[in-house]
Structure formats: C-alpha cells, structure tokens
Structure 1
C-alpha cells in the first residue's frame, strides 16, 4: 500500500500559529510533509493575505486568533501585517511573503477562501444561470492570487468550497491544478469536480466509505454512512482524493487503508507513527 501524501493543515495548526510564515517554514522543514495547505482572502487593498476566518476576533481553543478585530477584507494591509496571531510574534502574511519563505520542494494547496464578500454561495452546485456571475465575483481576486503564485516554482493546487472560485481559477489560470472541496453533499462535490475537470476532490474525513470514521460526527457534518464511495468514483474518473482534516495516526491509518491519495493533518508525524505501529 502506498502511503498517502501528508498535507500540513495551515502549516500544522496543532503545533504552530496557523497560516503564518513560521508555521509554513517549520512544516516544510519536517520530514514527510508533501504539501502545505493555506487559506487566502483579500486585504482592503485586494492583496491576498493568508488567513482563515472572515473576522479577526475569532478564537482557537479559547485563545483570540489575533489581537485585532474587524472583517479581514475591510482591514488595511499594513494593519494586518502588524496584527499578531494567537498571542505570538507572528503576523498575518501576504501570500507572496509566505511563498517566498518556503522551499519549492514542498507543494502548496492554496484554498480560495473568500474574495471579500458575505455572499459566498458556500458548497453549492450552482445552476447554469448563476455560474458566470459567481465567476465574475471571484475573477479579480483570483487574478491577484495567481500573480502571487507565479514566482513560486513548486507545485500549486487551488482548492475551494465555492464553485465560483473554481470557475475563476480555470478561467484565469487553467494550467494550475484545482481541487473541489466537499462539504455535506458528495454527489454535488463530484459534479463540480467534473464540471471544471478538477484534478482532485477534497472530502471530509467522515465521508470515506468503509472506515470507522464514516459514522463519526465531525465539524457538524452528518454522521451517516456515505451515499457513495467517493474514493472509487474519483479514482475511476482519474482524480486524486485528499481528505480533510485529521488529528491522529489511527485516523491516518484508516484513511490510508481506504486508498486515499492525500491526508490533510493538523499534526506532523502521523504517517511515521502509523507506519511504525
């Protein structure tokens, strides 16, 4: 059995301040890290910055995510660059700054999180009449993201829960790989993957058939048996399957046995632990 690629979720958010340069550099330096996963949104000027939440005043395990507040896309870039993340000296970096800091031997999964709007059409398979308008919403931001990625010679994979983002990625940068992030509807996720000929599908960990995880509550998602075998269907269509997000080596082991291609992890060492069990 080929071991799945390990993808460092926000730079291994379980052990480092997520989506920061320090987290990305440390994750890239760890043995076994095949790819980093980061989130991008615009600052007030439109420059892509690496941050997950819409607002700056969220929390992680009871700790403020930053020492600032407000919507990320209404905040000036200079303020974001002086904002501290999770009580550390790390700030919110631009996409360009983070990519300049990591080696090109490690791939980067750039999740297109938000173009600067509260109307995302999150995890929807859009009707034909809505697809063009949603692509137009995303196009300007995706152009800025692509500009930031072009100097990076390593592997880039764009992913998103938003169909408009994937449409824009294919429109702006068809030579880059794309992955459809799946929420609670496997068939809709696969349909979007087909529509944009995505190289990858990214389902949640409890959507993988034949594993103990399939009936486990996770992130508010249904804890029912999956309606289809997403690994089998995706592989039959020539797409890789990258699963989000795990915490333990046992979860890694179960998903590896199910034949997934990549596993997004909050902690380093999960593949090594599984192999040495």
Structure 2
C-alpha cells in the first residue's frame, strides 16, 4: 500500500501548514506530513507556502492570512502572529512544528524559497549557473538543517529548485527529492545529478492515471530502474489515490485524510 503523506497537513480539511493541521494529520493516521519552508526577514525558517502573507491567490475566496506583505521581508513575530484562514491558528516556525510531531512521523520539508523571488523552479541548470544557485540557497538550507537536527523522525527534503538540492548536498543534508516541472526529463536529470532518493511528480505526470496527459516519459518505471521512490501529489479523492496506487507509486501526497485503503 502506498504511504499517505498529508499535503500541508491535509490542507483540504485543516488550516494549511499550521501546527494543529500537521500534528492532527499524524493523529489521523498519516504516515508523514508535507510542509513548506521559507525564511522570515531574520532568516528563521517559517512554515508557509506562498510568497506573500495574504497569499499569492485566495483560498476559496479568503486571503491566506490576516496580514500582508512578502514573507521574506517580514519580522519573525509579525509572521508568527498572522492568523491562517480565520482559523485561530497562526503561522509556525519549523522548530515549533517539529517539536509538536512524534518521533514516529515522517516529514517532507519542501524548500520553497531562499528569501528571493528569483528561484528558477523546474529548470535543470547549466554547469555555469549551478555554483551561483547553490550559494544563493546555502544560508537558508543550512539553517533549515540546523533546525531539523534534533528531530528523530524520518526527514526528506524536496524542492522544485535545483539550487536548493545542490545546497542540500553540499551541506551534507539528508534524503532529497526533486519536484519536476513540466519538463520531466529535466527533472530526471536533476534527480540523477544529485542522486535524489525520490521524485515527486504531479498526478498528471504519472502514466496509468486517468488524468495523465501523455507525459512522454514513464516516471514510475524510470524511477524503479534507478532505485528512486515516487511520491505523487496531490490527491483529492479516494479514486485518485486508488489510481496512483495502481500505477505503482510509493507514496501519495493527499489533501484529505481517509483516502487510502479502499481498494
């Protein structure tokens, strides 16, 4: 059976990326949680998906929090005081989340931003650009690794950005996963370059699922040959979960609890 990975703490049923959502997802039976990290102005990793506190786009018509501005420009306490989706829950630091999770939990830490909008996601970098991108990401990645050091559960670090994975490997970080962009071959190239333990494709890139629009490469088959796990995102129904299991993925990043185990 595929592992259940709670996307932002089952964001379809709880206020995304909050301590309550992430800890609650493990209590609800998730094998692991997926969360997003980016730096506050001081460099502290906070658990937040979008570039802006109000959200890059609304969630069902609501702003993501009751505050505005680029996260990377905000003082830490202003971010920590931002209320998420009128839930009474606020934006946590990475340390606060890890302290709230049991040591049995798996955690997928997605590296969203080094503190700049210039990220080049989904792009396999030229040899000349890799060093620059690695140096750009290094301070934040090293801070994330330091904040994770005391956590005893399984950790997996993922990113759309090659620079983040390069900095992770240079820092001697843990297991890595690439999130491929539309160019799946570029994603596989990045996975090979950094010997990533996993690859995280969107559902539409998984051959054998009804939503798959001929991706041109069978990621699951290639990953199997190369010894990489495949965790696909983001299932919103048990039918999608079932399709992904049948396609042979190792894990399903899911929006809701209870989607697995019906087949």
TM-score between both structures, scaled by the size of structure 2:
0.98
Q: CA deviation at 1:27?
A: 0.3
Contact 1:180–1:189 (CA<8 Å) still a contact in 2?
A: yes
Alignment of 1:131-170 (within 5 A): 131-170=130-169
Q: CA deviation at 1:173?
A: 2.8
Matching of residue 249 in structure 1 with residue 242 in structure 2: no
Gapped regions of structure 1 (runs ≥ 5) = 216-224
Alpha-carbon displacement from aligned partner over 1:150-186 (angstroms, at most 9, x marks no partner):
0100000000000000001111134x10000012111
1-structure distance, mates of 2:221, 2:259: 24
Residue 270 of structure 1: aligned partner: 259
Residue 235 of structure 1: aligned partner: 224
Alignment of 1:39-78 (within 5 A): 39-58=36-55, 59-78=58-77
Residue 175 of structure 2: aligned partner: 177
2-structure distance, mates of 1:138, 1:13: 27
Alignment match of 2:250 (pick from 261, 270, 275)? 261
Runs of 4+ in structure 1 displaced over 2 angstroms? none
Residue 119 of structure 1: aligned partner: 118
Alpha-carbon displacement from aligned partner over 1:66-116 (angstroms, at most 9, x marks no partner):
000000010000111111000011111000001000111110000000010
What is the aligned-residue RMSD (CA, Å)?
0.8
Residue 218 of structure 1: aligned partner: none
How many residue pairs match? The answer is 261
Q: CA deviation at 1:120?
A: 0.6
Contact 2:203–2:209 (CA<8 Å) still a contact in 1?
A: no
1-structure distance, mates of 2:211, 2:6: 20
Alpha-carbon displacement from aligned partner over 1:178-199 (angstroms, at most 9, x marks no partner):
0000121111101000000000
2-structure distance, mates of 1:244, 1:83: 27
TM-score between both structures, scaled by the size of structure 1:
0.93
